[in-house]
Structure 1
Amino acid sequence: MRQNKSLFPNTQSDLPKYLQEFDLTLECKHLISSLPTERGWITDRFYRYQGFWHSLRQIQAVLPCQHHFQAQDTDILLVTTPKSGTTWLKAIVFALMNRFRYNDYTDDNKSTTTLCSQRTLTIFGTHLPLVSLPDSVKNSPCKLVYLCRNPKDTFVSLWHFSNKLRSKGKDMGTLSLTDCFDQFTRGVSVYGPYWDHVLGYWKASFENPERVLFLKYEEMKQQPKVELMKLARFLGRPFSLEEETNGAVDGILKLCSFENLSNLEVNKTGQISATGFDYNTFYRQGKVGDAENYLSPQMIEKLDQVTEEKFQGYVLKF
């Protein structure tokens, strides 16, 4: 039995996978029948599961992940709110953790003599809120790196991203900025509410700082060397004095810069096979403060007010 086609009115065989109809497990069918729904941004509907909004495809994937994923002690989980520098963080952590395996990232191409023990590890990326992580992650000493971005830029980037994905569908139309703004401020966005997502990991970083590192996109842009060295220490791969002198820190930042990543051929023409997302969808500007070019003064004031209310009592500001 296939899912009701009314949920996917624009399904066609030539559409990207993220817009296609697909078979649901019996568990997923039973679950969604009891979940609150809202209008979706990319697909037709959001479903509220464990306090956060997901597309149907996401719920279908989350359930087996929660049941079967077995975290290893050496795993690294990179967690972000969507459109908060996810691709940048993945590139930086991969380059950081593998800098002794692949090409040396020094500015002057000097060969580093620093050695480190090569331990087996796996790097995962996810947007899941803390509450929805598999129990094996919560009960493991594996490391979690969380990156968030100020809510105004996050919202505008997410709005652009959603419309870009919708453009691949037939007669899907463009999302209104004002309609999406209303939903976002009510907490209705992919993996939202944004503020609950952020606070979950913010609290965890204070409760268990050895396991959870909380980073801000704006601070990484403002002082990238400081944040990269902090990240390296947290992951147990600090830079040696020799590496710093030889330019390894600057080399990784240059390698993983927005300009370099967005101009790679694979990111211009490649596609994620599992979802059908074009890699170039993930690159727009990567700037801080771009939201002011789209939001009215009234919108900015409202979003700032919501953020202040949500974060009241916490030493967390953007």
Structure 2
Amino acid sequence: MDSLELVSPYLFSYKKKNFVVQEGLLPKDLDALQHVEIWPSDIFLVAYPKSGTAWVQQILVQIMDFYYPEQVEDASNRVRVPWLEASVQDNAARDRPDPRLFRTHLPVDMLPHGIQAKRVKVVYITRNPKDVLVSLYHFGFSWNMLESPKSFESFFEQFLDGNVFMGSWFDHVQEYYTARDQMDIDLRGEVVKLCAFLGKNLTEEAIDQVVEMSTFHNMQKNPKANYKDLLEKQRYKSATMRKGIAGDWKNFFTVAQNKCFDQVFEERMSDLPIAFIWDTKQ
């Protein structure tokens, strides 16, 4: 059995993948995760960290609330869309209303085998990697489980090398490419696509409400969506919802860094026909 290798405080490597150990997970737990019972109706939300997980999580919860009004819960999105990794320790996740929602940052080769075998629906979201880098940089100062970056310059190099939380962004996106679904600034259009993919036909009024409740402004002040409870429990040192825009990377990248990033991006991603929103002005 592969062993956990300490990369930095709280950050470990397992099977050459980087991740933060959650709630005392051990190698045997990660092995067991691949055999967790999967229901055909399960829905999985997958993304590299800081790619919009909280946002799409909010959209999924709102879609399910309108489609299954009898299952509406007065609980935070974190509770309603639990981490997949917690399922090996928390059997309560198996008893959640059908369809069950799960979220994860894990690479594709560490997911339960039943996901592919039962052809369950997986929503994979991507975000332009320059903004991911900047958001992950700030997240290092916010989450207690991560070591604060020494500088933006050093973190920039670590990101390109894949020596950050959850490893290489390039590897993660490439491995999940065939199951991707990108959210962009046409929020309503993407909600409609997501409903169609999930097979949940909502009224025009319901879709409008999902869109309204899933704007950054409304999520930022919604305690069920903004992780305020974790801030109050001192799991975070500061709020995690900063700006909610595309293009913030321009406030951090130097000209040289941007040129370097573009070169690496072209070398690693040129074979994948992925279009990113690099700036809100696009």
Given the alignment, which residue of 236, 240, 260 partners 2:199?
236
1:124 is paired with a residue of what secondary structure? strand
2:193 is paired with a residue of what secondary structure? helix
1:149 is paired with a residue of what secondary structure? coil
Q: Deviations over 1:206-247 (max 9, x none)?
A: xxxxxxxx2224x2x2x11211111111101133xxx22xx3
Cα RMSD for the two superposed structures? 2.9
1:65 positional shift: 4.7
1:74 is paired with a residue of what secondary structure? coil
Aligned 1:1-318 pairs, distance under 5 A? 31-32=3-4, 35=5, 38=7, 40=8, 44=9, 46-57=11-22, 60=25, 63-67=28-32, 68-102=35-69, 120-166=98-144, 175-202=150-177, 204-205=178-179, 214-217=180-183, 219=184, 221=185, 223-239=186-202, 243-244=203-204, 247-265=205-223, 267=226, 269-271=228-230, 277-278=235-236, 281-318=239-276
Closer/same/farther in 2, CA of residues 136 and 64 from structure 1, 3 Å limit: farther
Partner in structure 1 of residue 84 of structure 2 = none
Say how many residue pairs are matched.
247
1:197 positional shift: 0.3
1:271 positional shift: 2.0
Closer/same/farther in 2, CA of residues 65 and 47 from structure 1, 3 Å limit: closer
1:134 is paired with a residue of what secondary structure? coil
Per the normalisation by structure 2, the TM-score is 0.78
Query: Contact 2:142 / 2:236 at 8 angstroms: preserved in 1?
Result: no
* Structure 1, unpaired ranges of 5+: 1-26, 104-118, 206-213
| Fraction of identical pairs, as percent | 27
Query: Contact 1:262 / 1:268 at 8 angstroms: preserved in 2?
Result: no
Q: Deviations over 1:280-303 (max 9, x none)?
A: 633111110001011111111111
1:199 positional shift: 0.8
Please give the alpha-carbon distance, in whole angstroms, between the structure 2 residues aligned to 1:50 and 1:59: 17
Please give the alpha-carbon distance, in whole angstroms, between the structure 2 residues aligned to 1:91 and 1:137: 22
2:199 is paired with a residue of what secondary structure? coil
Per the normalisation by structure 1, the TM-score is 0.69
Which of structure 1's runs of 4+ aligned residues deviate more than 4 A?
Answer: 56-59
Residue type of the alignment partner of 1:89: V
1:134 positional shift: 1.7
Closer/same/farther in 2, CA of residues 300 and 87 from structure 1, 3 Å limit: same
2:25 is paired with a residue of what secondary structure? helix
Please give the alpha-carbon distance, in whole angstroms, between the structure 2 residues aligned to 1:293 and 1:53: 27
Please give the alpha-carbon distance, in whole angstroms, between the structure 1 residues aligned to 2:17 and 2:52: 20
Q: Which has the larger radius of gyration?
A: 1
Please give the alpha-carbon distance, in whole angstroms, between the structure 2 residues aligned to 1:276 and 1:66: 30
Query: Contact 1:129 / 1:197 at 8 angstroms: preserved in 2?
Result: yes
* Structure 2, unpaired ranges of 5+: 71-96, 277-282
Please give the alpha-carbon distance, in whole angstroms, between the structure 2 residues aligned to 1:73 and 1:201: 20
Closer/same/farther in 2, CA of residues 158 and 254 from structure 1, 3 Å limit: same
1:252 is paired with a residue of what secondary structure? helix
1:54 is paired with a residue of what secondary structure? strand
Please give the alpha-carbon distance, in whole angstroms, between the structure 2 residues aligned to 1:305 and 1:66: 36
